[in-house]
């Protein structure tokens, strides 16, 4: 059974339908990417899985349990973390204080907390160097690292990642994607929404192309991107 299984999912904002019966799955230790133009429904998919938006139809099964319609905090405690496009770090807290917030969702000993912080600092050495700096003093790339790190300290089984490369310099984008690949290799499942199709497809196990709230193509990245019509849609 897949770690995440979404079946015939519908969601709407007030009276406007957005998701129109999408189905997909993700296994532990793999990256599944979602591609499509702005407004295709990719971010809405992540928000619905995380409980920010209630599904109107369909099911979301995570780790064998139906979670569609649960509150975001309950979904988080079950092992799903969401890294939104705007990152939502706390500007007036230090790097370490931001990371500590991710640890407060469950009780841990001091030694366990330190191990989780070290895990993040090993992944992003720059955060260790800046652990006493305020969030607002970090560069965009460092803020993205912090957002990923804050999610990671909660030991999620599944990470929902929305546009991690948005507005970042190419060298920072490379570092971010390398970190996502290492998380996959450590057994975490990632559902990735990304406009940088080439970079995302290079680390993905499978991908789905969305248009107007529907999935129009899915499969291995190389197979999907071999379709000329899809390449034109995605401007690859």
Instruction: Identify the CA nearest to 82 among candidates 90, 69, 73.
Output: 73
Lowest mean per-residue pLDDT among 40-44, 85-89, 93-97, 100-104 = 100-104
Chain segment 25-58, per-residue pLDDT in tens: 999 999 999 999 999 999 999 999 999 999 999 9
CB 69 within 8 Å of CB 54: yes
Per-residue pLDDT, 236: 81
Q: What is the pTM of this model?
A: 0.93
Domains of the chain in sequence order: 4-234 (3.40.50.300)
**What is the distance in angstroms between the CA of the first residue and the CA of the last residue of the chain?**
33
Q: Are strands 65-66 and 57-62 parallel, antiparallel or unpaired?
A: antiparallel
CB 189 within 8 Å of CB 141: no
Count each helix (H run) and each strand (E run) in the chain, helices first: 10, 10
Q: Map tokens 């570092």 to a residue.
A: 175
Chain segment 167-210, per-residue pLDDT in tens: 899 999 999 999 999 999 999 999 999 999 999 999 999 999 99
> At 123, is the secondary structure helix, strand, or coil?
helix
Instruction: Identify the CA nearest to 39 among candidates 213, 229, 161.
Output: 213
CB 164 within 8 Å of CB 192: yes
CB 195 within 8 Å of CB 177: no
Per-residue pLDDT, 60: 98
């Amino acid at each position: 059974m897949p770690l995440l299984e979404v079946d015939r999912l519908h969601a709407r904002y007030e009276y406007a339908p957005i998701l129109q019966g999408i189905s997909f799955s993700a296994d532990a230790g793999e990256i599944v990417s979602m591609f499509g133009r702005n407004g295709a429904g990719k971010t809405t998919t992540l928000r619905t899985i995380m409980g920010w938006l209630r599904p109107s139809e369909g099911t979301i099964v995570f780790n064998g349990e139906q979670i569609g319609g649960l509150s975001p905090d309950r979904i988080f405690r079950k092992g799903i973390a969401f890294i939104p496009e705007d990152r939502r770090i706390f500007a007036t807290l230090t790097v370490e204080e931001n990371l500590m917030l991710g640890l407060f969702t469950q009780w841990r000993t001091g030694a366990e907390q330190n191990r989780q912080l070290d895990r993040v600092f090993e992944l992003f050495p720059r955060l260790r160097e800046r652990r006493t700096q305020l969030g607002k003093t970090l560069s965009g790339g460092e803020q993205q690292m912090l957002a990923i790190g804050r999610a990671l300290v909660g030991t999620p089984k599944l990470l929902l990642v929305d546009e991690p490369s948005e507005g970042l310099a190419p060298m920072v984008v490379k570092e971010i994607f390398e970190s996502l690949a290492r998380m996959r290799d450590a057994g975490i499942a990632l559902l990735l929404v990304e406009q940088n199709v080439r970079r995302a497809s290079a680390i993905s196990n499978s991908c789905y192309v969305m248009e107007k709230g529907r999935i129009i193509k899915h499969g291995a990245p190389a197979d999907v991107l071999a379709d000329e019509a899809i390449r034109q849609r995605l401007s690859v």
